[in-house]
Structure 1
Amino acid sequence: MTDALPASSLWLDEPALVDLLAFDAVAQTVAEAVLDDALDPVAIGVSGAWGSGKTTVLRLVRAALAERNLGPDKQILIVETDPWRYDPSVGAKETLIGEVLGALEKEIRDEAGIKGQARDLLKKLRSRVNWSKALQVAAKASLTLQLPGVDDLTKLISADSSAADGGEARGLEEFRTEFEKLMESKQLDHVKRVVVLVDDLDRCLHETVVGTLETIRLFLAVPKMSFVIAADEQKVADALRPRFQAAPNGTGADGRGESPEEAASLYLHKIVQTTVPLPALSRFDTEAYLVLLQLSHQLDKHELRPYIDRCAALRRESGLLDDLADIPGRDIAAEMTFASRLTPILYEKLRGNPRRIKRFLNDLRVRQSVANNRGITLAPEIVAKLMVLEVLLGDGFKRVLDWLAKGELRTQMQSLEAAAGRRVPADSPTDGVAEADSKEGVKQTTAERDAPTFADDGRVRAGGVGDGHRGIRFDVMRRSGWGRSGRCRVGWCRS
């Protein structure tokens, strides 16, 4: 088989710039919800496990919102924030509010008769944020029994911002009321919606998770504001749980037994009105993703587009991925064959997680490169099967290495091949293992019945022919670097 994976060019663990996962349907749904006038303000969740493509969906949402922008007088202002990257010395509340105010400041239009009105409101709001930061500095200093430095306070409380409100603004009290006035001001009348895209919240420390959600609920949830929060909903609830005492068994958060939902989830759902779950990849999606990932390193965006569109059409029509090869201009038989061979393994073992699939392919390329640099050319499907043992079926791989160390690898591989119903080469010692008979099938000897087999979980059964070897051909050991001497020639084993 032609090598469908060159031994270089790894895939970055970054959000995709091109949608290879057909997540555009999810993004369009979210974009429609955040712009719905009946949902104002609104917070929408995009939930999925780590590596499932949440950040990619946020990028698609941003693109979908840009397409809906109705010109200079009806703008959609997008604010992207990542609480995971917040400065730990500054509170999550102050950081998120500061990012929103900074984006709004650039949109303020000074017009005749109302010049300075919105800017004065903005200065007052900034003053409250600065005072809140100063109070945090003082609180932390008191815990360490140290007075805050003069520079720490003066850089947070500027004379200009404190004078803007006559010295009345202290902390975040009344912030929501003044922020709502700012959003209603004539100088921001051209901004029809502010959409805040929140990413990586499920990676944050518990206090950052709580602070971010409290900011959205208590300070920023005013008309014209929408939020899209990409996070694993269960992990966010885990972060909230220490703040709320669990209700007694069999009762709801109110103690009356009307709702089995715990307090942490109830609090989260009070802030996030609805959550769009990110679907795991189906078997078809997994195979299509493997094909498109390979093609993405060989084609530019324009050349790749017909394959993406064709996959989307086949998905809608419940068609077969084999029809993807009908697109003229390029032979993709190698990529299709490689994907079809890997899909049963990766779909089952990696549970349709795009990041884990990409990582597996990166590891595969590294192993191929090591073999190539040692003068050994290996077909990618051979390396992949070895990696399944090493990465996904660890117990089985340890058993193989044990056979290698004891000089039993070749004999054990022959036993497994015979137990799987495959012929043993005529020039190989059979050690009592009978070859398959073309008419009567496999005649099992005592050696065959006692031959070890691999279970689906990677463990090696001690005897009998099981179905655990499904999807893995054990003669790959001989073909991929373990020579007749039983020595590993590609550096697979670490010993």
Structure 2
Amino acid sequence: MWSDNETTEDLLGFKVHADLIAEVINDPDLLPITMGIFGDWGSGKSSILKILSNHLKQEEDGTFVLYFNGWLFEGYDDAKAALLESIIKEFEENKRFTPEIKQKAKKLIKSVNWMRILGLGFKNIALPVADAYFTGGVSILPFLAGKLSKIDGSHIIENLQGDGAENFLKSLVEDLPKDDPSMLVREFRENFKELIKESKISKLVIIIDDLDRCQPDRIIENLEAIKLFLNVENTAFIIGADPRIVRHAISHRFKVRDVEPGTTNRVVDDYLEKLIQIPYYLPKLSDSEVETYISLLICKRELDLKIFQKVLDTFNEYREKNRYSVFGLTNIKEVIGPDDYEKLSKSLGSLPALSSIITQSLYGNPRQIKRFLNTFILRNRLAKVANISGFDESVLAKLMILEYTELPLFLKLYEWQSTKEGRPDQILELENKCSEYSETDFKEFLTKGDYSNWNKDKVIQWLKVEPALCEIDLRDYYWISRDNISSTISGASLIPPIIKSTYNKLNQEGLPVKATKAIIKKDVMLLNESELNQFLEFAVAMAQRNQESTLSYKLFQFMIEEGVRGSEESYKYLLNLIDLEKIPPAIGVDLRSLKNNPVLGDFLSELLSTSNSKVAKAFKK
């Protein structure tokens, strides 16, 4: 099994990204700077930031690196103040700094507490002020200290402990000059700048990860803290986030609709450019990188730690010379013994050959690949615990690819094999025709026959990959996967959170049509291509599970009306899979509006013309 946490162990060749970011940070002419390391959920942002942090900490040029998880500030009353305080506390508590520096840091923390009052109101600060007063530490708020010194002590205690503490504190600062808040900001920046200078560090690098897990307001508070208070000379802020989540936070904050970059509404674009000077987008993994990643993950699981380190060193040397080719068994063979090589060969099975399909199915996402492999390992262990004889990991791997790529086809294959003692005639015919025919002829065969749902490039590629399934008894393999067959949507744990949350927003009974279409425009249509494909596949799988739910079909109808890319093809695919008798009759009325649709028109007429189902009758009225 493999951990899903970020790591400094570079199995993806991501060090090149960390090196590039470090090069930018180390250019004094570019400081101060704020960089955004942008990527989708599970793309490897956190691992790159960990590698970067370790790299910078090893430099002996006076660099001071602080690493924060933005999500840690989610529960604070004021995330902005919490971030400021956490950063300054590092100066106060780190052993490398002198007592004088630590004392300056303490004073800065007092300034943060004061700004907390001005920024939040008084209910959230009354208790801390009371505690400070009772313990003799009221000097943490110099302005309040002066005010409190003029009031009878018994009245202070009574007012700070009572229900009117908020109004009491508010009354103390009513005469504060209006420009004092900005003065405090300027003073804080100057003091912070002085703290860095007197600390004798060449640059301060603050890495903030997981910002996209925060609520929208918290995201903006953290970003504004950086720009307003901390972005002074010799500082670099590196922020890891999904850019779409940040864009959503900005649109939420300013109550504007986010649109595609480059269009007329530039509020979100302009604000993001103001906060993030240099955006750096992580690329998705290529087929060769996925194959290499899988090979290294298997090596880590199967090999002794010292031997694996040799493999990793060899991989790093290889990557410096060749960034495009697969680092696989052939390369690994040179640094391991024959016994280990044989063990790896068995463990890898057909996974490398399936890497291109894994890339398409899991969209080159390292987290999804790792979770897929963890499920593969668990099922393989289950086969051993159950003493299944003749079990072939390669067959399991191939079937799981179909399960995660095309769940409806995986379920159809289950139906076929369940009536043929595990050896369905249909898979025999498909594999034979696939090997006999040219690709063009095979696609024509699929179109004209009963296999139109199998007429997809990635499915055809799957059919070609060894091992062939026509001579395999598939019952044991489906027995291992029976949990997904009977109860859940396979691969749900591999669906990015943004896909699930978007679908859940739409999957609400009683949601007005206008609200549904607004969510489609705001959330669905702004997904990138790979995520939109995942969303549509997820919607198809959900609809197949809930065949009698009107809502499942309505969703596709609305997406087609709003012009969502690929929605027509996905709806066609879904209707091909569904038992017409289970589709609610009301959907037939909706389908009538699609009679002239270039993708669905002829298909619907042919599908429903000879059917006596209620949905067909409603369509033909």
TM-score normalised over the length of structure 1: 0.76
2:277 is aligned, of 259, 273, 276, to: 273
Residues 248 and 69 of structure 1, relative CA distance in 2, 3 Å threshold: closer
Is residue 54 of structure 2 the alignment partner of residue 63 of structure 1?
Answer: yes
Which residue does 2:296 correspond to in 1? Answer: 292
Conserved? CA contact 2:11–2:293, under 8 Å: yes
Q: 2:486 maps to what in 1?
A: 494
Q: Helix, strand or coil: the match of 1:210?
A: helix
The residue correspondences of 1:458-473 to structure 2 (distance < 5 A) are 469-471=463-465
d(CA) in 2 for partners of 1:34 and 1:184?
A: 20
1:328 aligns with 2:335: yes
Match of 1:203 among 213, 217, 225: 213
1:365, CA displacement in angstroms? 1.2
Q: Does 1:131 align with 2:114?
A: yes
Q: Does 1:154 align with 2:130?
A: yes
Alpha-carbon distance in structure 1 between the residues aligned to 2:71 and 2:40: 16
> Any gaps of 5 or more consecutive residues in structure 1?
1-9, 142-147, 253-258, 424-435, 461-465
Structure 2 residue identity aligned to 1:287 = E
Q: 1:218 to 1:384 in 2, by over 3 A?
A: same
Deviations 1:332-376 (A, max 9, x none): 433555442331221121121110000000111111222222221
1:311 matched to 2:279? The reply is no
Q: How many residues align?
A: 437
Q: 2: CA distance between counterparts of 1:339 and 1:345?
A: 10
One-letter code of the match for 1:131? W
State whether structure 2 residue 337 is matched by structure 1 residue 343. no
Look up the SS of the partner of 1:55 in the other structure: helix
Q: Kindly provide the CA deviation profile for residues 252-283 of structure 1, in whole angstroms up to 9, marking residues without a partner as x.
A: 8xxxxxx8572212211112111222121111
In structure 2, the gaps of 5 or more residues are 148-175, 488-621
Counterpart code for 1:375: N
Q: Of 75, 85, 97, which aligns to 1:98?
A: 85
Aligned mate of 1:475, from 459, 466, 469: 469
Question: Which aligned pairs between 1:337-416 and structure 2 lie closer than 5 A?
Answer: 337-377=349-389, 378-403=391-416, 407=419, 413-416=424-427
Give the counterpart letter for 1:263 in structure 2: V
Tell whether the 8 Å contact from 1:109 to 1:188 is kept in structure 2 after alignment: no
Partner AA of 1:481 in structure 2:
R
Which of 7, 26, 32 lines up with 1:41 in the alignment? Answer: 32
Aligned-partner Cα distance in 2 for 1:350–1:101: 41
Question: 8 Å contact 1:41–1:221 — kept in the other structure?
Answer: yes
Q: Deviations over 1:416-470 (max 9, x none)?
A: 21232179xxxxxxxxxxxx99xxxx9xxx999845365266999xxxxx77744
Residues 421/296 of structure 1: CA separation in 2 closer, same or farther (3 Å cut): same
CA distance in structure 1 between the aligned counterparts of 2:365 and 2:446, rounded to whole angstroms: 40
The answer to whether the 8 Å contact 2:66/2:205 transfers is: yes
Q: What TM-score does the superposition give when structure 2 sets the normalisation length?
A: 0.61
CA distance in 2, matches of 1:49, 1:490: 29
Residue 150 of structure 1, CA deviation: 5.8
CA RMSD across the alignment: 4.0
The residue matched to 1:20 in structure 2 has which SS?
coil
Question: In 1, are the aligned partners of 2:76 and 2:82 still within 8 Å (CA)?
Answer: no
After TM superposition, list the pairs within 5 Å mapping 1:144-183 onto structure 2: 151-155=127-131, 158-163=137-142, 167=146, 173-183=183-193
Structure 2: which amino acid aligns with 1:127? K
Contact 1:193–1:225 under 8 Å retained in 2: yes
Letter matched to residue 379 of structure 2: R
CA contact under 8 A between 1:342 and 1:381: conserved in structure 2? no
Q: Find the aligned partners of 2:260 and 2:384 in 1 and give their Cα distance.
A: 61
- Is residue 421 of structure 1 aligned with residue 432 of structure 2? yes
- 1:236 aligned to 2:246? yes
Amino acid across the alignment from 1:154: A
Question: Closer, same or farther in 2 for the Cα pair 1:418/1:79, shift >3 Å?
Answer: same
Given that 1:396 and 1:459 are in contact with CA atoms closer than 8 Å, whether structure 2 keeps it comes out as: no
Query: 8 Å contact 1:392–1:458 — kept in the other structure?
Result: no
- Kept in 1, the 8 Å contact 2:80–2:222? The answer is yes
Distance 2:260 2:6 in 1: 42
119-128 or 49-58, larger mean C-alpha shift? 119-128
* Higher mean displacement: 331-340 or 472-481: 472-481
The answer on 1:263 being equivalent to 2:275 is: no
| Distance in 1 of aligned mates of 2:398 and 2:309 | 31
Alignment partner, residue 217 of structure 1 = 227
* C-alpha deviation, 1:90, in angstroms: 2.1
1:426 — aligned with what? Answer: none
Please state how far the C-alpha of 1:396 moved relative to its aligned partner. Answer: 0.8
SS in structure 1 of the partner of residue 377 of structure 2: helix
**Does the residue aligned with 2:28 lie in a helix, a strand or coil?**
coil
